[in-house]
Structure 1
Amino acid sequence: MAQFDRRQHAFALTLRALGYLLRYPDAEWRAHLNDVCGTLRDSRVLSGNRLEQIESLAQTIRTADELDAEAAYVELFDRGRGTALHLFEHVHGDSRERGPAMLDLIATYEQAGLTLRGDELPDHLTVLLEYASTQPREAALALLGEVAHIVQRIHGAVDKRGNAYAAVLGALLDLAGVRVDTAGGHAHEPEPDLDAAWEEPAAFDGCGNQGQQGAGQAQPVHVVRRAPAVDSHAAHSAARGERA
């Protein structure tokens, strides 16, 4: 039992650390960066190669001017839908379905005993990872598997830019047991119109109150994607205060 508890604890810490690395890199963030990287090393959940890639990202940010690091983060994650860390941006876009889906996701968090700060949006990947870290390992893995297709897409867009943040997204895919697709080069290609590539799902099935479990138990959260229409044409901006 003790060994199982240590495994659960290490996995939860890894999720939290990866989520932290995807947050806005302000001065407070920098103050904890070394501890976060140490946590990833000590937990021994990720591969040595992946840890090296993440440490390279951390070192790049450590040595960069603070304002430059912040501007680079905004340029990467807030200037294009393909790299947006808000998951519903990839599922609902700007449709009217996004609001109710947000409320359902908040209800899921609240039933797990979690409360969002006023500046947090529930569909931000960092918030979802914080939630996942509070769940049993198997439930957290199932959740990672459900959002893996979105994380894969974000990873591909980030990797095409040759950006080291791809290592963090790749680590999440590693945990989900999903093969990481590499971009096969880092040419910065124009982003497709996300609204054309993604259609609204029929429902965000798992985030309503119906069927939710108690805190500490498996909490179903389903993020689904439909195939684009045959005749669709070629396939985020967030204020700093919206960063989770």
Structure 2
Amino acid sequence: MIRTFKALSALLSYPSTDLQEAISDIREILTFEKILPVEAIVAMEPLLSEFETGDIFDVQERYVLLFDRSRTLSLNLFEHIHGEGRDRGGAMVDLLETYRAQGYDLVATELPDHLPVLLEFIATLPIGEAREMLVDAGHIIAALAERLTRRETPYAAVLTALSDFAQASLETDEAQALISEKDDDPEDLDALDAVYEEAMVTFGPDPNAGCPVSRDILARMDAPLRPATA
């Protein structure tokens, strides 16, 4: 397992006290595996320090304002290219089948295209295959990195590291189309409601499914994937 991607998945998930307690372990994983260059790991230190020393409620509020109340920063990747249309549902079915083909079922409440879920999955792949999967989403990740950089948030370092790993470029037509969209105002709830007024895609894992308990150092966070049963 490439635990670096599991660590990055944890950093992009909704903050918890378990995450705060695991920050020293995350530092150790990032440094030991050397999947990311040193400068990328150093750039993440402000975020790691914020998690480690910040008030959990303040950290959670900032996360919600960024990722849950700003459509253009959504971590649900297909939302950026399919919106809430039916094409997104089909794309998620295909992605879920990719997970299952490798022997994993989705057991989290998040959708298959949620970036932390994708990172959990690619953590189980050989490094070359992991890169290929991120390359496919490279233009979205690059656009997210740029938007987060504009907002001067320490989360930008995580998306920038993923974008660089995937060798993604902002110069493609696809990435330019994404970053040309006007940034949402997370404080404008009326505008946010208008964006989501269309019917939401109803797709997800079995709500009765449980999460496995892992011996992994990051098992304090809920794992969104589990080995499929025959």
TM-score by length of 2: 0.71
Q: 1:142 to 1:170 in 2, by over 3 A?
A: same
**Alpha-carbon distance, 1:179 to partner:** 5.2
**Alpha-carbon distance, 1:180 to partner:** 7.3
- Whether 1:63 and 2:63 are equivalent positions in the alignment is no
Contact persistence 1:90–1:150 (CA under 8 A) = yes
Contact persistence 2:138–2:169 (CA under 8 A) = no
Which residue matches 1:24? 14
Runs of 4+ in 1 over 4 A off after TM superposition: none
CA RMSD of aligned residues (A): 2.2
**Alpha-carbon distance, 1:118 to partner:** 4.2
**Alpha-carbon distance, 1:89 to partner:** 0.7
Identity of aligned residues (%): 38
**Alpha-carbon distance, 1:190 to partner:** 4.9
**Mapping of residues 128-147 of structure 1, within 5 Å:** 128-147=118-137
Higher relative contact order (CA 8 A, sep 6+): 2
- Give the counterpart of 1:104 among 55, 77, 94: 94
Deviations 1:148-200 (A, max 9, x none): 1000111111111100000001111121123579xxxxxxx95179xxxxxxx
Q: 1:40 to 1:75 in 2, by over 3 A?
A: same
TM-score by length of 1: 0.67
- Whether 1:191 and 2:198 are equivalent positions in the alignment is no
Give the unaligned 5+ runs of structure 1. 1-8, 182-188, 194-242
Contact persistence 1:82–1:153 (CA under 8 A) = no
Q: AA paired with 1:56?
A: P
Which residue matches 2:167? 177
Q: AA paired with 2:36?
A: L
Secondary structure at the counterpart of residue 115 of structure 1:
strand
Which residue matches 1:44? 34
**Mapping of residues 1-244 of structure 1, within 5 Å:** 12-178=2-168, 190-191=182-183
Contact persistence 2:3–2:123 (CA under 8 A) = yes
- State the distance in 2 between where 1:86 and 1:53 align: 24
- State the distance in 2 between where 1:167 and 1:21 align: 11
Q: AA paired with 1:191?
A: D
**Alpha-carbon distance, 1:106 to partner:** 1.3
